[in-house]
Structure 1
């Protein structure tokens, strides 16, 4: 008897938990039908007849009631163009805090080379203030690339609520059975099952809390970028061609000035080297023309100067003709 009793207790607990979960997850329409009896059927038939005679659009009061029961998760992304992204990011953070929200993440980058300054923020604002917050971003800068998405999670929320309610009831019954346990085996079996149910209940409660936070607070990703300089097209016709030519000339001269500035140090060094080489070559030529020693006065490089009394190679000696 003691061996079969714990198994019977556990089986009865599991069966009771399943029945509680099914009852808790039953739709509202089935519960109202069982409680109202025939009156519920009559009311449903009258409502159907009224709908058939209407234009097919639900009244405003019923639509508002259904909207109030819905649970919607709202997320969005927006790009804001501003002159100073750092200042704009500070304004976005102040805007979120003034709406009752908070800044979850923030990243800023300073301009570096061709990259412009930018900022990235993730803000959480109350769901009722989402539209007002997006409209207020117009005061920060030029709003572009706006995207808002709303996801209805009413079914998921109701399912979590039903499971949490069923497990809560099951946990309470297990605690009652633990207090009424007649043996140690019954107590250990109920305690083990209670631990499992309690862990599952806490997990469901955590999921429900996270979903409630997403429904209550909308998430917006805000990208702040610097104003991009737009290039203006030059006018057409003769004046446009003249302006384009003048701009091309200025660009060419600017390029030449840059090249000249880069080559000027090299030109100075090359000029100095050429002057030194030219001076050395002139010295070498002068030494080669001088021949080593300078000539004596009255003579040249070929011998004594030719004078009136100097013998000529073309003249014959006087004594030579007499002898013949």
Structure 2
């Protein structure tokens, strides 16, 4: 019995060891398969979908090749610039609506120039809007009136942005190495030279970072130049036309401008005329009255003036002495007494 029991125990132990070994191998195989499956899933995972709202962006993912460039628009740096000309009935109201639309979209007004004169009512607005809302804002501004011109320009600065990032990283490493060398300087000459070199490297780094911030601002916020014109305001293209009506409109505008200028000058001079002109006129009237009451005195030795309406002096009538013609005898010279 002892021999048989020992054999049974040996067989059970062998079976148990074999089962444990088979379970370990299957577990290892399952782990490897799970790891390989996870790696395959990571390698074949599709890139995230493109952002919606960016003008001109396609929703298709990039190529699956590992070394292919990423052509998705949301991964590129693009500057959007727009120019619009819209003719409206009320320029001020349209300008307020444009500013309200841009502000509601998260943008702001970069410049605002307006002229409320009826003959030349216009407004020129420089609007900065988020790039994701660029197309929507342009369409909304076109509904303010009758759109006459629209021009959209794009500039891809992805390569410049990537180049700036690489140059900034390299320059930061140079600045760090310069600071380490400066910390280990032992002589004054080394200290002075290292300080100058470090200052130059830091200035270059600041310049590169400023360019990067400028590009980031241009790509994050697009610029829209909106020109609003009244119904009767002519554009630069219309002013080059020839004809009777064109000349009449131009002459009428010049006449209105001249009258406006004349009235402006008259309004500026009127207070001075009232303050200085009235006393001067009163002084001239008083001087004239005084001259009439006190005529100027006659000079000494002058004959008195003839009486007005009085008797006239008698006129002597009779033969007049004959007038001798010809050479006259010389008049003897008189000698003075000694």
Offset, 1:65: 5.3
Residue number in structure 2 paired with 1:143? 147
Residue number in structure 2 paired with 1:273? none
Offset, 1:159: 1.3
Task: Indicate yes or no: 2:173 matched with 1:169.
Answer: yes
TM-score (norm. length: structure 1): 0.50
Residue number in structure 2 paired with 1:225? 229
Q: Which of 121, 124, 137 does residue 125 from structure 2 map onto? A: 121
| C-alpha distance 59-109 of structure 1, shift in aligned 2 (>3 A) | closer
| C-alpha distance 183-91 of structure 1, shift in aligned 2 (>3 A) | same
Residue number in structure 1 paired with 2:35? none
Q: Provide the aligned C-alpha RMSD in A.
A: 2.3
Q: Which has the higher contact order (CA 8 A, sep 6+)?
A: 1
Residue number in structure 1 paired with 2:138? 134
Residue number in structure 2 paired with 1:76? 82
Offset, 1:81: 1.4
Taking the TM superposition and a 5 Å limit, the aligned residue runs for 1:26-105 are: 60-62=60-62, 66-105=72-111
Ranges in structure 2 where 5+ consecutive residues have no aligned partner? 1-42, 44-57, 64-69, 235-338
Offset, 1:228: 3.8
Could you list the per-position Cα deviations for residues 75-120 of structure 1 after superposition, in whole angstroms to 9, with x for gaps in the alignment? 01011111000110111111111110000100111225xx331110
TM-score (norm. length: structure 2): 0.48
2-structure distance, mates of 1:191, 1:85:
59
2-structure distance, mates of 1:70, 1:228:
44
Offset, 1:73: 0.7
Residue number in structure 1 paired with 2:48? none
Task: Indicate yes or no: 2:155 matched with 1:182.
Answer: no
Offset, 1:142: 2.0
Taking the TM superposition and a 5 Å limit, the aligned residue runs for 1:296-307 are: none
SS at the partner of 2:120? coil
Could you list the per-position Cα deviations for residues 150-198 of structure 1 after superposition, in whole angstroms to 9, with x for gaps in the alignment? 1101111111111111111100111111111122222211111000011
| C-alpha distance 142-200 of structure 1, shift in aligned 2 (>3 A) | same
Q: Which of 98, 110, 116 does residue 110 from structure 1 map onto? A: 116
Ranges in structure 1 where 5+ consecutive residues have no aligned partner? 1-42, 44-57, 231-324
Residue number in structure 2 paired with 1:204? 208
Q: Which of 196, 199, 203 does residue 195 from structure 1 map onto? A: 199
